[in-house]
Structure 1
Amino acid sequence: MNIRIHCFQHAPFEDMGCIKDWIKKEGFPLNYTRFYEDWKIPSIDSYDWLIIMGGPMSVNDETHYPWLAEEKKAIKEAIDRGKTVLGICLGSQLIAATLGAKVTKNPEPEIGWFDVTLTDQGKQNPLFKNIENTFKIFQWHGDTFEIPAGALHLATSPVCKNQAFVFGDRVLGLQFHLEVTNESLNLMLRDADDELIDAPFIQKKEEMLKNAHYIESTNQLMYKILDRLKELQPPK
């Protein structure tokens, strides 16, 4: 099986992290649209999977980032054409918005290592089968999405009710960062440190680095989900 993967990247400090390692191991071709550089959205027929990464902007910031409108159109086309679509953080919010759900400010910004718990729908979903009900993962977000109509609500946390959803079998939105590596963690702490204000659910930089030992378990969970998405890939 050869799966052609395309990535929408919004900021240099929010890259694919460990997802790149999985793609390299599988030997799949990978291409990018980087919206912070000269960008071009490829033909829908040129890829099988679309992976949409995070970023500091809001899905509602089309005035400041006009390319968001074009990106949403491309995401909608990918979903309509039955592609596998994975969105992380901003990427999950873009999928939600494309599916007609609201994206608004979360009651509190959430930055650091926090517990996320699977919902009953999450426990029963093939993408999360045989996974611990509660796991500690890395968060960095100020916005949140509503669960789109027709989607399943997969995960939640005390400060952010909607942490993950799946639409159909292979359109997955994850508010959290399972892809984070030591390198990407340090890049976010360096390049987005203006967001590290004094707030109830924003950890200190030192605490986030101290808990970086959770990276290995979160990466393993990312690999499991990618493996399961691969299993669901329809034959060409």
Structure 2
Amino acid sequence: MRVAIIENSRITHAGQVGVALTEARAEVTVIRAYSGEALPGPGDHDALVVFGGEQNALDDDRHPYLPCLANLMHTYGEAGKPVLGICLGSQLLARAYGAQNRIGIAPEFGWRAIERTKAAESDPVLSAVPEQFWSFQWHDDTFDLPASAVHLAENADVRHQAFRVGRAAYGFQFHFEASRAVVANWSREFPDMIERKEPGWLTRHPELAERHGALSDEAGLALARAWVRLINP
């Protein structure tokens, strides 16, 4: 099982996705696209993971590899290979399938409740979590759904939280990979950014982690394991 992980930021954690890939004994190749490392070819791997980053999905001037990455996600998806796009990755997947990215209109931060849609009841990945579950959010942008997409999750603040295109190309706006350990690391690495994003959150972090973190970790690992099961070596 060969899986390529595309990193779009210097500090990237595979988190619960990494746990599930380790359990499955996947052969993982990490590509630091943000630093200029070459993207893989369409036949090099059995699945593709694209994590988040500070840039937006249309930031081609500063990050000229983004159109190529979107095209690669489309190629994997059309071949029936599993694709997992998280945060920026989900926005790039929407772009790859012709949908409009909406920049700066959908800020969310912290652990938030998310609801499955009716279509998610029979989905091989989203059916792994309850009708309402918790996950970590950190984004400002959103997207329209691609015309061919199945809408899988939403909440009161941002309607398009998760979708699937084809057999196994998934976009997740929320950071289900972000376990409590990952969030704690982000809190140490980005305190000024977090304070600007959500004033006072760092002070409340321990209490919020106690209240919502375990449920988020449980849902995140369930989603990660369910997606990894779709990979056909």
Counterpart in the other structure of 1:110: 108
Partner amino acid for 2:89?
G
CA contact (8 A) 2:100 2:143 kept: yes
Once the two structures are superposed, the pairs formed by residues 34-73 of structure 1 within 5 Å of their partners are 34-73=32-71
Counterpart in the other structure of 2:168: 170
Provide the rounded CA distance (Å) in 1 between the counterparts of 2:161 and 2:196. 23
Shift of residue 202, structure 1, vs aligned partner: 7.0
Helix, strand or coil at the partner of 2:114: strand
* RMSD of Structure 2 on Structure 1 (CA): 2.2
Counterpart in the other structure of 2:141: 143
CA spacing shift, 1:233–1:22, aligned 2, 3 Å:
closer
Provide the rounded CA distance (Å) in 2 between the counterparts of 1:120 and 1:166. 14
Shift of residue 44, structure 1, vs aligned partner: 1.9
Once the two structures are superposed, the pairs formed by residues 1-236 of structure 1 within 5 Å of their partners are 3-105=1-103, 107-129=105-127, 131-196=129-194, 204-213=201-210, 214-234=212-232
Provide the rounded CA distance (Å) in 1 between the counterparts of 2:25 and 2:126. 24
Shift of residue 119, structure 1, vs aligned partner: 1.3
Count of residues paired in the alignment: 232
CA spacing shift, 1:78–1:85, aligned 2, 3 Å:
same
Percent identical residues: 26
Residue by residue over 1:93-142, the C-alpha shift from the partner in whole angstroms, topping out at 9 and shown as x without a partner, is 11011001111135441011111111111233232226321112110000
For structure 2, the residue ranges without an aligned partner over 5 or more in a row are: none
Provide the rounded CA distance (Å) in 2 between the counterparts of 1:203 and 1:53. 27
For structure 1, the residue ranges without an aligned partner over 5 or more in a row are: none
Partner amino acid for 1:211?
L
Provide the rounded CA distance (Å) in 2 between the counterparts of 1:219 and 1:89. 17
Provide the rounded CA distance (Å) in 2 between the counterparts of 1:140 and 1:202. 14
Partner amino acid for 1:86?
L
CA spacing shift, 1:137–1:231, aligned 2, 3 Å:
closer
CA contact (8 A) 2:138 2:174 kept: yes
Provide the rounded CA distance (Å) in 1 between the counterparts of 2:144 and 2:18. 29
CA contact (8 A) 2:111 2:213 kept: no
Shift of residue 194, structure 1, vs aligned partner: 4.3
CA contact (8 A) 1:107 1:160 kept: no
TM-score, normalised to structure 2, is: 0.89
